Structure 1
Amino acid sequence: MSDFFSGVVREMKKVSWPKRKELSRYTVIVVATVAIMSVFFAVVDLGISELIRLVLE
C-alpha cells in the first residue's frame, strides 16, 4: 500500500500544472460552453414539446 502512495506522489511531482492565467481561461471556456449547450438543449426541448403538443391536439 505504501508503494502505491509513494508512486502516486512521485508521479504527481511530474505533472505539469496549469498557471493561474491558463486555469482562469480554461474555466471561462468550460462555463461558457456549458451555458451555451444548456440554452441550446432547452430550446430544442421546448421545440419538441411544442411539436408534440400540436400533434396530440
Structure 2
Amino acid sequence: MAVIANIGRGIKRSFTGTTGFIRNCMQELKKVRWPDRKEMTNYTLVVLSTIVVLAIFFFLVDMAIGQLVQWITE
C-alpha cells in the first residue's frame, strides 16, 4: 500500500505547477524520434491495407451469418 502512496507523491513532485508540466512535456517531445516521409508513407499503406482486408473479412463473415440465419428461419 505504501508503494502506491509513494507513486502519487513522486508524480506531484515532478510536476510543479503548469510551467513545470509544460517544461517536462517539451523535454519529453525532444526525445521523440519522428518518422520521415518514407516511413510515414509505409505506415499509412500498412494501416490502409489492414483496414481493407478486415473490412472484406467482416463483410464475408456478416454475409455468412446472414445466410445461416436465413437458412435456420426458413
- The bucket for the TM-score relative to the shorter chain is over 0.9
The alignment covers a number of residue pairs equal to 57
Query: Which aligned pairs between 1:13-24 and structure 2 lie closer than 5 A?
Result: 13-24=30-41
Shift of residue 2 of structure 1? 1.1
In structure 2, the partner of 1:44 is 61
Structure 1 counterpart of 2:41, one-letter code: S
Which aligned segments of 4 or more residues in structure 1 are displaced greater than 2 angstroms?
A: none
> Which TM-score applies when normalising by structure 1?
0.95
Structure with larger Rg: 2
In structure 1, the partner of 2:49 is 32
Identical-pair percentage: 37
* Structure 2: runs of 5+ lacking an equivalent: 1-17
Superposition RMSD in Å = 0.6
Shift of residue 55 of structure 1? 0.3
> Which TM-score applies when normalising by structure 2?
0.74
- Relative contact order (alpha carbons < 8 A, sep ≥ 6): 1 or 2 greater? 2
